Structure 1
């Protein structure tokens, strides 16, 4: 039954994996056994319920993981869901460093997947912080006050694009670096584009 749910368009991801191959295959079987649809999104295997993203399998150098898109809404009574960085609002990971861990956690992983499906069925959504709740780097604030067209263009960006810029500017530790980032991004903002858009 699980093999029937495998999407041939996603097979290459698992066969090309140079690290974590056994772990990825085990995660794939567990997720597919929960009745989700397998698709490829952002270059990774993504599993959906009625076209809504539920969980993604992805790899890093030190670990592989299941990423629950609405993980912040899951109970996490076992404390295994991890927030990747302080700026990640909805997603939560369960990380693995060997196939043994995955096999031992199989019943628990399925429970989290089924809970994530129930969250989706209930129509629950993650309450994201508004862009106005993020700190604005002083260097960017100065430019917004100095150039009205920049403020107008920034205010017209989608909240996600605004957050990406605010986080990017704030991550720099030195004022000189923040200033350089603001200068570099001003043309993008004025053109209505997001941080990594061309």
Structure 2
């Protein structure tokens, strides 16, 4: 059985990815394996990574949105969702211009040193009048709810507030009330 590399989804880009690695190691970046892929860091901050997919192999820059991209080679792999990450796709080893790749990597390193990076946007607090009414009449429920982390509180509030009809809010509340009282998060069974 042929060895399968997690970072090469189709196991067809080994030579090409090794070539990219040989370019990256000429820099001060440190290779680590995260999420099953080679990730290159500077002071433990993710700068770039490489991987192979069905139709291409790629180098991606975690804060690629800040690169000048004078050759217009970078793409947003998930428009509307991905904020800062940008990918550079290749279909063959011959497409790799070592000097150009190194210039993009150096710029990414300089940006990291300068602290130029994208910070996740703070989510707006969810206000649930429905839940507030229940907390007023049930202090045990309120106390149990407050024991959850802000993230888990948000999951419950979103669950209630995304219901379009009052009867749905009520049925959802009936489902989560015992969970809250028992200290079970909405999505704990999936974690």
Which protein has the larger Cα radius of gyration, Structure 1 or Structure 2?
A: 2
Change (3 A) 1:129 1:33: same
Rounded Cα–Cα distance in structure 1 between residues aligned with 2:190 and 2:99: 41
Aligned to 2:83: 89
Aligned pair partner of 2:13 in 5, 20, 31 = 20
Q: Secondary structure at the match of 1:46?
A: strand
Structure 1's consecutive aligned runs of 4 or more residues displaced over 3 angstroms after TM superposition are: 12-17, 127-130, 144-149, 152-155
Structure-2 residue corresponding to 1:69:
62
1:6-155 maps to which residues of 2 (within 5 A)?
18-86=11-79, 87-102=81-96, 105-132=97-124, 146-147=130-131
Structure 1 pair 125/146, CA: closer, same or farther in 2 (3 Å)?
A: same
| Structure 1 or 2: more helix by fraction | 1
- Aligned to 2:106, the other structure's residue is in SS state helix
2:75/2:88 contact within 8 Å kept: yes
CA RMSD of aligned residues (A): 3.8
What 5-or-longer segments of structure 2 have no aligned partner? 136-144
Q: In the TM superposition, what is the alpha-carbon distance from 1:18 to its structure 2 partner?
A: 2.0
Q: Deviations over 1:33-80 (max 9, x none)?
A: 123111111100011112211111112211111110111111112111
Q: 1:155 to 1:145 in 2, by over 3 A?
A: farther
Rounded to whole Å, the distance in 1 between the matches of 2:7 and 2:82 is 26
Identify if the C-alpha distance between structure 1 residues 71 and 16 changes in structure 2 by more than 3 Å, giving closer, same or farther.
Answer: closer
Secondary structure of 2:105's partner? Answer: helix
- Structure 1: gaps spanning 5 or more residues: 1-11, 170-174
Matched residue pairs, number? 154
Q: Distance in 1 between matches of 2:60 and 2:32?
A: 15
Residues 135-171 of structure 1: CA deviation (Å, up to 9, x unaligned) = x9xxxx9xx665558xx7899218xx97xx99xx9xx
CA distance in 2, matches of 1:30, 1:37: 13
1:7 aligns to what? none
| 1:172 matched residue in structure 2 | none
Contact 2:61-2:108 at 8 Å conserved across structures: yes
Distance 1:147 1:93, change over 3 A: same
